[in-house]
Amino acid sequence: MSVYGVLFYALGGLMLAATTLAVTSRSLVHAVVYLVNAFFATGLLFYLLGAPLLAAFEIIIYAGAIMVLFLFIVMLTRQDKPLAGGVSLMRWLLPGLTSLVSLAAGTALVFSGGATGVPLAPAMASPRDLGRALFSRWWLGVEIVSFLLLVALVGALYLGRAPREGAAAGKSPGDAP
Amino acid sequence: MIVPFGHVLLLAALLFLMGLSCTIARRNLVMILIGVEIMLNASGLALVASSLRWMSMDGQALTALILGVAASEVTVGLALVMAVRRASGSLDADRQTALKEDDR
Q: Which residues, at least 6 apart from A164, have a Cβ–Cβ distance to it below 8 Å?
A: none
Q: Would you say residue B91 lies in a domain?
A: no
pLDDT grade, residue B104 (50/70/90)? very low
pLDDT grade, residue B101 (50/70/90)? low
Q: Would you say residue B101 lies in a domain?
A: no
Query: pLDDT tens digit string along B4-27?
Result: 888 899 999 999 999 999 999 888
Give the CATH number, domain containing residue B34: 1.10.287.3510
Q: Would you say residue B54 lies in a domain?
A: yes
Domain A1-79 CATH class label = mainly alpha
User: A54 vs chain B: nearest CA distance in angstroms?
Assistant: 7
Enumerate the residues of chain B whose CB falls inside 8 A of the CB of residue A146.
68
Looking at residue A83, its pLDDT comes to 55
Q: Would you say residue B37 lies in a domain?
A: yes
Q: Would you say residue B98 lies in a domain?
A: no
Of A5, A22, A42, the CB nearest to B3: A5
Query: pLDDT tens digit string along B53-81?
Result: 888 899 999 999 999 999 999 999 999 99
For residues A97 and B25, give the distance between their C-alpha atoms in angstroms, rounded to a whole number.
12
Enumerate the residues of chain B whose CB falls inside 8 A of the CB of residue A78.
none
Question: In one letter, which amino acid is A129?
Answer: D
Of A61, A86, A132, the CB nearest to B67: A61
Candidates B28, B66, B84, partner chain A, best to mutate (most A CBs within 10 A) = B28
CB neighbours (10 Å) of residue A14?
17
User: A177 vs chain B: nearest CA distance in angstroms?
Assistant: 23
Q: Do B14 and A103 touch (CB under 8 A)?
A: yes
Q: How many domains would you assign to chain B?
A: 1
Per-residue pLDDT of chain A (177 residues; tens, 9 = 90+): 788 889 999 999 999 999 999 998 888 899 999 999 999 999 999 999 999 999 999 999 999 899 999 998 888 877 655 555 545 777 788 888 999 999 998 888 888 877 777 788 888 888 898 999 999 999 999 999 999 999 999 999 998 887 665 555 444 444 444
Which candidate, B97, B70, B32, places its Cα nearest to that of A91? Answer: B32
Over range B87-94, report the average pLDDT: 80
Q: Do B1 and A102 touch (CB under 8 A)?
A: no
CB neighbours (10 Å) of residue A165?
8
Q: Do A57 and B71 touch (CB under 8 A)?
A: no
Enumerate the residues of chain A whose CB falls inside 8 A of the CB of residue B60.
51, 53-54, 125, 130, 133
Contact B98, A174 (CB under 8 A): no
Q: How far apart are the first and last CA of chain B?
A: 60
Looking at residue A177, its pLDDT comes to 42
Note down the domain range covering B44: 11-86
Q: Do B52 and A28 touch (CB under 8 A)?
A: no
Q: Would you say residue B19 lies in a domain?
A: yes
Q: Would you say residue B47 lies in a domain?
A: yes
Q: Any CB–CB contact under 8 A between B84 and chain A?
A: no
Enumerate the residues of chain B whose CB falls inside 8 A of the CB of residue A39.
41
Which candidate, A49, A111, A139, places its Cα nearest to that of B54? Answer: A49
Q: Would you say residue B28 lies in a domain?
A: yes
Enumerate the residues of chain A whose CB falls inside 8 A of the CB of residue B70.
61-62, 66
Q: Do B13 and A106 touch (CB under 8 A)?
A: yes
Q: Do B92 and A61 touch (CB under 8 A)?
A: no
